Each structure stands twice: as structure tokens, then as C-alpha cells.
Structure 1
Amino acid sequence: MAAHTPLPPNLRRGLVAFSGSLFINNKTRDSGAAHSYHPAHEVLASLPLQMMLYFNVYYFPVWFLAEGMMLQLKYQLLPQHYQFLLVTAFLILSLVEGSRLYLGYVGNLQEKVPELAGFLLLSFLIQLPLLLFLLTDSHLIRLPLEMAVHSLLLAFLLAEMAAAFLALKTMTKQLVAQFYLRQLKEGGRGWPGQGGRGSQAAKEG
């Protein structure tokens, strides 16, 4: 049974359009690729991405607990504005990570372009800047355990982004190939009828 997706229809259409504009540059080339499309023999889900998502799901609670403990230890030593920034970054990372992993699972396993595009955008626009902020800002009193767990999460994130980019590129091109193949089939069914009407008109004339 297909998993429910939280994405609204308008957002799904926007993500599909974004993916198409990002990866589809030559419609003629894609139209030609549609002739060799074999939907029954090709799986588009990325195994490397799925493996990384699987391990990331188990690693995320470890990161959450470690970062929570480190935050509690150094909270009183930080300036007030850094206390606010650190707590905000921790909360946003924690909340977004669950949604990001869910979209990655659904988008990859069910080969859904909008969900996978959403996964990639959340990774690039939210998680990556926040992790880099936590790793590079010297005023945050970076503890050794904190640096270790952040670095491992960053490694997961970068690898998942690369794998998701390649998977999304493949899925988007395949989606366009299916569209052109469907157009060719529908056009082929329409031609005999048009020819028949032309012959009938010629006989009547």
C-alpha cells in the first residue's frame, strides 16, 4: 500500500516543475529516449540512498541525545544571543530531520519526484546551513563529542544529497520519457481513424 504523503497538491506540482526545469534540458533527446523505455524491467529507486537513509534513521536519536546533553552542559556559559541561536538551531534540525527522512523514504522507494525533490531541498536549504553553523562558529564552545556527532551527521547529509540528486535526475528523465511515450501511443491510435475518415471522404467525392 502506498504511503501517505503530507505534501499538498500545489506543492507537489511545484516540485515536479522544479525538478523538470533542473534536469530536463533537451526535449528532443528525451523524446528519443522514450522509444527505448521499458517500464516493466527498470527500477529507479536508489539502493545507496536507501541504505544511507536506513542508517540515518537509527543514528538520528543518537545525535539528538548527544546534542541535547552537550547543549545542557554549555548553555549557561554562552552569551544570551548564542543561547537563543543554539536552541533554535537544535529545534529546527530535530523537527526538519524527521520530515526530511520521511520524504526521502517515500520519494525513493515509491519513485515519487515531488517527495524526493522536497527531501533534497530540505537537506540543502535548512539542514546543511545549520550543521555548518554548528560546526564552524567558534563562539558556540564546540565540545569534542559534539564535533564528532555533527561531523557524522554532516557526512550522512552530503552523501544523501549526492545520491538523491542522481536518483532525482534519473526519475525526472524517466517521467518525461513516459510522457512522450504516452503521447506517441495516443498519436498512433489516432492516425488510423484519421486515415479512414480521409478515405471515406474521397469515396463520397
Structure 2
Amino acid sequence: MALYFNAFFFPFWFIGCLVILELKWQRLDDLYRIVLVAIYIVYFIIESIRLYLGYLGNLMERVPELAGSWLLTLLLSFPLILLLVVNDNAVLLPFERALHIVMGLFVLFEVVLGYLAIRTMVDYQVTKYHLQQFSDLEQMDDNDYFPETRYTS
């Protein structure tokens, strides 16, 4: 659900950041103009790819896509949003700080839940693989086998 709500919040966050960037453009140093534009462009690209991989991995139960989304979240999105929240030299406005904090909470929540989802999915697929050695799973219903992992008991 975190990816779902993040997918709806992301366009509003991005539009809000662009409007605020336009409002404070004259007060920024040349260095921060370049840095902020670069951060917003990179974050837009990363976030689009990350949300796509997260949806694809979650809906199709594919571990590589879900792991790719989690790694993008942990290694790129989280440090960038943290930089936007903490850097006071970029003339942060209160609305901008609120937008970044909400996005940062989404990203932090997705890091934790993404790890748990990947671990659960890997446990399930490993158990399913081991069950294929003993029976023909194509003839079994989904209700006939459910692995007993630490999350289902």
C-alpha cells in the first residue's frame, strides 16, 4: 500500500517542488540552482523507475524487480530526500520542508516494508521450489500448499 500511496503523492510532490523552486529561484546561489535542478531531475527519473519496478515486482511476485526497487529506494532515493530535508543552505520554505518530510516518511516506510516483503517472498518461493521435487504442482490448487514460514504461523 505504501507504493500505491507514494505513486499518487509523487506527482503532487514534484509539482510542489517545481513551483517552490520557481518562487525561490532569485534568492538561491548559482551553485544551489544547479544542484537543486540536478537533484530534482535525477529524483524524478529514479522515482519513476523505482515505482514501476516496485509495482511490477509486487504484482507479478518477481524478486529481482522488487529487490531492484528496494535497492533504488535505499541507495538513491533515501539519501537524496534526506539531503533535501536537511540542507538549510537551499533556502527551505515551510511548505517545501513539509513536502520533503512526507516523501521521506514514505521512502523510509518503503525501505522497511520492502525488506520484509522481499524476505517473505523469497521464503515462499524457496518452499514452493522444494515442494516441486515431491509432487506435481501443476495439478495442485493454491489452497493445497502453503508453506509454514515465520510469517504465516
Pick the TM interval, shorter chain.
Answer: 0.7 to 0.9
Residue 136 of structure 1 deviates from its aligned partner by: 0.4
* Pick aligned residue for 1:78 from 28, 37, 44: 28
- The equivalent residue for 2:149 is none
- How many residues are aligned here? 136
Amino acid across the alignment from 2:34 = F
Q: 1:148 aligns with which of 87, 98, 107?
A: 98
Question: Whole-Å Cα distance in 1 between the matches of residues 86 and 134 of structure 2?
Answer: 54
Do residues 130 (structure 1) and 80 (structure 2) align? yes
TM-score by length of 1: 0.63
Give the C-alpha shift of residue 184 in structure 1: 4.5
Aligned pairs for 1:17-32 within 5 A:
none
Q: Could you list the per-position Cα deviations for residues 87-111 of structure 1 after superposition, in whole angstroms to 9, with x for gaps in the alignment?
A: 1111111111111111111111211
What TM-score comes out, normalization by structure 2 length?
0.83
The 2-side partners of 1:130 and 1:75 are apart by 20
Question: What secondary structure, in the 3-state scheme, does the structure 1 residue paired with 2:6 have?
Answer: helix
Q: Which amino acid in 2 is paired with 1:68? A: L
Q: What residue is the counterpart of 1:180 in the other structure?
A: 130
Residue 182 of structure 1, CA deviation: 2.7
- Code of the residue aligned with 1:167 in structure 2: it is A
State the percentage of identical aligned residues: 41
| Structure 1 vs Structure 2 CA RMSD | 1.5
Q: How far off is 1:185 after superposition?
A: 5.0
Q: Which residue does the alignment assign to 2:13?
A: 63
Residues 25-64 of structure 1: pairs in structure 2 closer than 5 A: 51-64=1-14
User: Which ranges in structure 2 are unaligned for 5 or more consecutive residues?
Assistant: 137-153
Give the C-alpha shift of residue 167 in structure 1.
0.7
Look up the equivalent residue of 2:79 and give its one-letter code: P
Q: CA deviation at 1:113?
A: 0.2
Name structure 1 gaps, 5 residues minimum: 1-50, 187-205
| Structure of larger gyration radius | 1
Residue 151 of structure 1 deviates from its aligned partner by 0.6
Q: Which has the higher contact order (CA 8 A, sep 6+)?
A: 1
